[in-house]
Amino acid sequence: MPVAVPNVPGVPPVIFADIDLTITLLTEDAFGIFTGSPSAPWGIYLGGIPVVVADNVVAFNYKKQYAIADYPVERGSFESYDKVEIPYEAGFRFTAGGSDANRQAMLASIRAIQGDLNLYDIVTPEAVYLRANVQRHDYSQTAQNGVGLLQVDVFVQEVRELSGAPLTSTQNPTDAAQVNGGPVQATEATPTQIAAINPGTGSNAPGGF
């Protein structure tokens, strides 16, 4: 006899009745939204390759903010004078189950990227956030949670790079060429500097005082 239940994972094999597929589609979306498949590329990437070995991504959070600077004025009031962009922060919750080796592989992949200086891409279906480095990760295990399915939170922060002249490699540091790294504030030359440039203008020049 046909049964009026959706044909989804976890339901025993039975003869399914013809019902509205809306429930089935919603359930399938809940199972597959964070699977890391090509249709939903959630994760931390380097050169287009995910760097965390995990079964799933079950949560993601992103924070972006600006700091508005101000200063006190008369009668206890404040006036704002600047707005500064703060590097973004993001976090993933990765999961791994099955064998001990599978969970150990996820932890090892996270530890491998936490101590380096690489800049990673934070990839979600809606947006990709660039130039992030791993700050920390944490997880907990209890008798009721985390024994068979390990959940690890990984937090990253954007890294700002200053543009400037490229670094050069020389055998002797004194042989390196001078590099202009920014604008230089002009100052008036001293009399000694003027005399060194044009000896005829110094105090010892003929006709000088």
Q: Tens digit of pLDDT for each residue in 67-112?
A: 988 888 877 787 888 889 999 999 999 999 988 999 999 999 999 9
Domain membership flag for residue 200 = no
The CA distance from 56 to 176, in Å, is: 50
Place of tokens 């931390």: 44
CA distance 43 to 52: 7
Whether residue 115 lies inside any domain: the answer is yes
Give the pair of three-digit tokens for residue 39: 């249709």
Q: Name residue, tokens 């287009």.
A: 48
Residue 57 belongs to a domain: yes
Those residues whose C-beta lies under 8 Å from the C-beta of residue 18, and which sit 6 or more positions away, are: 2
Specify if 85 maps to a domain. yes
Compute the distance between CA of residue 144 and CA of residue 209 in angstroms, rounded to an integer: 95
Domain ranges, residue 67? 44-158
Is 2 inside a domain boundary? no
pTM of the model: 0.59
179 falls within a domain: no
- The reply to whether 26 falls in a domain is no
State the total domains in the chain.
1
CATH code, domain with 52:
2.40.30.200
Residue range 99-154, pLDDT digits in tens: 899 999 999 999 999 999 999 999 999 999 999 999 999 999 888 777 889 999 99
Residue 149 half-sphere exposure, CB side, CA atoms within 13 Å?
A: 9
168 in any annotated domain:
no
